[in-house]
Structure 1
């Protein structure tokens, strides 16, 4: 009877000790709070906070991080004095929403003159959503910086991929940076140390099977019997190669050999005689005896290579649900200050050390009372920037409305293009964003473009989701911020500057650029076409037509480009043989705007 109860509530044949699948993340958040008296959560958002940051008194640099759930004990296990000030878990294997990230930054950064360091893992959704939250806080006058963890040693050639993924080695960053913050270091010094650590550590993983997401029956990926997948990501993203299953020592030897390949762009340059710290991470379902045997072999093999392990951290530190796999992370202790920082005390529960509640403290959930904060609103937007009068404002409204009606008809076409190298939802995602915008058009003050476009950015973020929603929102916020600045010159020049600002934001957090086969390959030519129109006697319709022509030419050029960003960068080149869906979407939007002006 009990077994049937579990099956029925999980809606799957796989046994999981859950209640309702859709509630598992929130219930996990509350369960973690019940066991840690030093940590509190928020009542209406999934945020973990070190409660010392919510009490009056001198502040220290606050370090926050986050990412998809399913990697427990990350991030809650690393909240505490000497490590993280706050952590934001998203849905299973999904980046947390920007508005929750924003709340977390403000919770620990409010009236904190020392500032906030946001640590993001090098996954597109995390970079974009954490970056967007950071930029909003910067715009509000907060002192906040970002460091991106990316230390995997999987790929011998990093160029042409979305970059080195962030893995369990990020814990070295949390511990060292957290100890520095606790000791009163400045934000600038902590960030500089993180950058130094980035050149001294590396991680590699192996797995015998994929994990099973709550509510599903099949694992994310399968590995043939007798085979291990080496170099995979935390969610099961493709590894660098398959290797035969062997003894613990044989597997450890192959991993260390790959991590230190002389011709690998992601290699770890271990030197004889140097000291290292090691993390042996259980990705989910490796037994303790296997962990101990594997740890012994890793230490032995490093010593045989002349390397001196002086600290070893072993356990389920950042998991991938129930994946059968292991990771090795190695930090070269090239700076003599790092070891004392690793050894410094912390109240974080997952940095192995028992947590003892204060006498008389009950194990109850403590809800944080956050300082109130307001989002950027239309009322706060200044009218000192670019303004449109009379017929020009009506024309702006007309072309936006027509473009939306025109572009949404291409949903299936964009989905088909995207299905060849992505999720197959580019058209559906854009459709959600445009229909969301259409619902608020009648309330927009079209005489003030910065207000309108800022509103569109918020709608895109709320309705589109994922990396696409974040990218469009970053682009539109960049445009709106530039249009808001004081200006009394050529409006064509200001629009071109605004587009450039939006593109810079996309490049900064999306990590793509021209030639990487993305929407930028249409946006950049269109912006250059606009810049050529500065000082020319042309109508708005003529200008937009030139921009649309340039975007379409740029889109067509992506047909022959190798994908170097996003999911497509991991696909076989022969499978990526049509135009990029994102670039096509940009071209369609610009053509729709041009048609709207030429009615």
Structure 2
């Protein structure tokens, strides 16, 4: 396997360059001199409040530095790609917020050995210096029904903890109260991912291999092995498998929800999935959860915790409550937090009724023989268009985007569906008008610049 192409200046400096890019475009953030630490620019405002620090290996952008700002994290410590940050940088971040007058520090750490070790050592050093520090370890992975000795991995659900803890800190809650609420909230969260392709650390080959017709369920955000591989399937099918696995009553890692419960849903792009696919997955997830009788109070759709360029998606479900919803809805200026509407998803009307056309009087005595002629002509046209689909596509590839034949095949299928409906009028003007409406509705119009041909709808 070849080394993947990436837009970098250098492999060793990629994390520093990325942090500079974030800081340059985010006036509310600053970098701590000599360290890969991002802090709020208004650090003086945290005096008397609990400071929140998180972080981990880079490559999960916008996590974690994108969640630094009022209402979320006070700072984030970045390690090399997929590698925990050094103890010295974590200690430097703790000292910076303590010097600014923080009334205690909460470290929010994903459950990985390196992160727990380095943040834990930093916590011990800070406590020896007299700083009041606690560490909340987040493990929200639902992949393994019987968690291994290390426990559940920390993945996208950690972002929800950033939000909840940030709201509590802004409200002036003390350290132990925030720590307790965050710990209880973390137990209500579950996440599961699925990947269609691997990712690759800059300068290296892909972390694993998947056949072109395979996907992997339950893998980690660094490319760690999942729980099963399957053949490619539809969005509805894979989402059902994921949610069934996440809510399986026999699983020790399940999200403990039942019909009638309220939840927050996060549909997270693992890095390389197209927006089109992500929205399709989101639709599948909303329908699946509502089909189980769950009330979706809020839904987030986007890239929140990625795995470099991995083509995949994770679903996070959090069992919500009135208090947690208030904390979730609390204002934040963190650059990566999306503008989520503060209204329930379930129960909304999702379709605007179409304004009907002005109707024309129906034919009193349809001409059956004329309709039969129309059917015969249309059937021959459709048969010809369908047989020429690939030939027309090939011609279009030389001058356009290669979809001319597919576009006309869609038109042919739409006409056939119309024929099957039995609604063909015999009056010639009404016949042509109705046919044009069928094509305009079902057949995308190609641009003239494609150079092959315009659609029948023109």
Structure 2-normalised TM-score?
0.72
Rounded Cα–Cα distance in structure 1 between residues aligned with 2:150 and 2:230:
24
Task: Specify which of 34, 37, 55 is matched with residue 27 of structure 2.
Answer: 37
- The equivalent residue for 1:462 is none
Task: Specify which of 277, 281, 288 is matched with residue 290 of structure 1.
Answer: 277
Rounded Cα–Cα distance in structure 2 between residues aligned with 1:30 and 1:265:
41
Task: Specify which of 138, 145, 149 is matched with residue 161 of structure 1.
Answer: 149
Kindly indicate whether residue 83 of structure 2 is the aligned counterpart of residue 126 of structure 1: no
- 1:168 CA displacement: 0.2
Unaligned runs of 5+ in 2: 341-458
Question: Where do residues 282-361 of structure 1 align in structure 2 (5 Å cutoff)?
Answer: 282-333=269-320, 335-353=321-339
Task: Specify which of 274, 298, 308 is matched with residue 261 of structure 2.
Answer: 274
Instruction: Confirm or deny: 8 A CA contact 2:255 2:318 kept in the other structure.
Output: no
Over alpha carbons, which structure has the higher Rg? 2
- The equivalent residue for 2:194 is 206
Task: Specify which of 235, 242, 249 is matched with residue 236 of structure 2.
Answer: 249
Instruction: Confirm or deny: 8 A CA contact 1:61 1:117 kept in the other structure.
Output: yes
Rounded Cα–Cα distance in structure 2 between residues aligned with 1:98 and 1:353:
34
- 1:135 CA displacement: 0.7
- The equivalent residue for 2:410 is none
Instruction: Confirm or deny: 8 A CA contact 1:113 1:143 kept in the other structure.
Output: no
Task: Specify which of 48, 68, 86 is matched with residue 59 of structure 1.
Answer: 48
Task: Specify which of 2, 14, 26 is matched with residue 24 of structure 1.
Answer: 14
Task: Specify which of 97, 100, 107 is matched with residue 89 of structure 2.
Answer: 100
Instruction: Confirm or deny: 8 A CA contact 1:275 1:309 kept in the other structure.
Output: yes
Q: Which aligned segments of 4 or more residues in structure 1 are displaced greater than 4 angstroms?
A: none
Rounded Cα–Cα distance in structure 1 between residues aligned with 2:309 and 2:11:
16
**Which region of structure 1 is more displaced relative to structure 2, 243-252 or 145-154?**
243-252
SS at the partner of 1:342?
helix
SS at the partner of 1:137?
helix
Rounded Cα–Cα distance in structure 2 between residues aligned with 1:243 and 1:253:
14
SS at the partner of 2:160?
helix
Kindly indicate whether residue 164 of structure 2 is the aligned counterpart of residue 176 of structure 1: yes
- The equivalent residue for 2:245 is 258
- 1:13 CA displacement: 5.3
Structure 1-normalised TM-score?
0.55
Instruction: Confirm or deny: 8 A CA contact 2:46 2:102 kept in the other structure.
Output: no
Cα offsets for 1:110-146 (capped at 9, x unmatched):
2635200001110000000001001100111111100
Kindly indicate whether residue 106 of structure 2 is the aligned counterpart of residue 117 of structure 1: yes
Cα offsets for 1:78-134 (capped at 9, x unmatched):
000000000001001000000000001111122635200001110000000001001
- 1:198 CA displacement: 2.0
Unaligned runs of 5+ in 1: 1-11, 355-599
Rounded Cα–Cα distance in structure 1 between residues aligned with 2:201 and 2:182:
32
- The equivalent residue for 2:61 is 72
- The equivalent residue for 1:405 is none
Cα offsets for 1:20-52 (capped at 9, x unmatched):
111111111111100111110023111000122
